Amino acid sequence: GLGIGGLVALSLSSLGGMLLAHRTLEPTQRSYKKLKQFTADASHELRSPLTAIKFSLDVLMKHPERIHPKNTRKISAISSATDQMITLVEDLLFLARSEVAADTQDTSKETQTSIYKILQGLLTLLEPQAQSKTITFESVLIPDVTILGDEAKLTRLFSNLLDNALQYTPAGGSVKVRMEKSVKSVFITFEDTGIGIAPSQIRSVFRRLWRTDRARNRRDGGVGLGLSIAQAIAQQHNGKITVSSRIGVGSCFRVRLPLAKASVEQFEMTAIPL
């Protein structure tokens, strides 16, 4: 056998290993944290001058008579580029902040939130856009499903997925939104008949600033932060988004959100004494 000495030596050496691992990991974690903090700070700082540019442009555009006709198109190009930049900076800030917050503590405002209400609202809001593209919306929703969560963030999660479904589906297609419920979770799927994602690319869709080649060639659309943001929000709610897709057939994004974070733990706690 090892004997007491052997055991002590063994545990000391494994302790040494742990310390060593801890020491080598720490600088990496620290610089990663610094990088996230930097992204948060930088995007925050970029926001004020951008807002100032936007403000001046708005003032200028309120008085078209003061703009030389030769400059009208240039000014509207500057204005839409500024809008894009503001969206980009705000998305980066959102991601960086949620990552920094995940390290420290959660800052989201959590209340009982109706998933049904959010989806219904988004479908109504996007209906005109779908109609103008002759895309049909189909939805199977379950009323009265609420989860403990941040309503603004959850709205953003679903709106990003619905926006994508609309954007990457050609005219004449369809987008189906479906809610399902199990004992512990609610599942929300967004299924489109769009361009699809190749198997080799599907693992990258949740990466920041990542877009498929086909998407990159289009002038419309975002910069590739929408799905990273959606996934970050799902994770903040202890949930997850998964995707399946076939090129030329369509994509299906599936969100799983636990119905109540506390109820599972409560159940397990009452189960222990038995």
Chain positions contacting ligand ADP, by CB under 6 A: 160, 164-165, 168, 192, 194-197, 205, 210-212, 215, 221-228, 251
**Nearest to ligand ADP of 113, 159 (CB atom):** 159
Tokens of 156: 């953003």
Q: What is the closest distance, in whole angstroms, from the C-beta atom of residue 163 to ligand ADP in the complex? A: 7
Radius of gyration of the chain (CA): 24
Q: What is the closest distance, in whole angstroms, from the C-beta atom of residue 214 to ligand ADP in the complex? A: 6
Q: What is the closest distance, in whole angstroms, from the C-beta atom of residue 217 to ligand ADP in the complex? A: 10
Using DSSP's 3-state secondary structure scheme, residue 99 falls into helix
Q: What is the closest distance, in whole angstroms, from the C-beta atom of residue 172 to ligand ADP in the complex? A: 15
Residue for token digits 């998964």?
242
DSSP string, 45-77: HHHHHHHHHHHHHHHHHT-GGGS-GGGHHHHHH
Q: What is the closest distance, in whole angstroms, from the C-beta atom of residue 164 to ligand ADP in the complex? A: 4
Amino acid of residue 96: A
Helical H segments across 168-242, by residue range: 199-202, 213-216, 226-236
**Nearest to ligand ADP of 125, 249 (CB atom):** 249
Q: Which residue is nearest to ligand ADP (CB)?
A: 222
Using DSSP's 3-state secondary structure scheme, residue 122 falls into helix
d(CA 113, CA 99): 23
**Nearest to ligand ADP of 115, 225 (CB atom):** 225
Q: Are strands 250-258 and 240-246 parallel, antiparallel or unpaired?
A: antiparallel
**Nearest to ligand ADP of 67, 223 (CB atom):** 223
**Nearest to ligand ADP of 54, 208 (CB atom):** 208
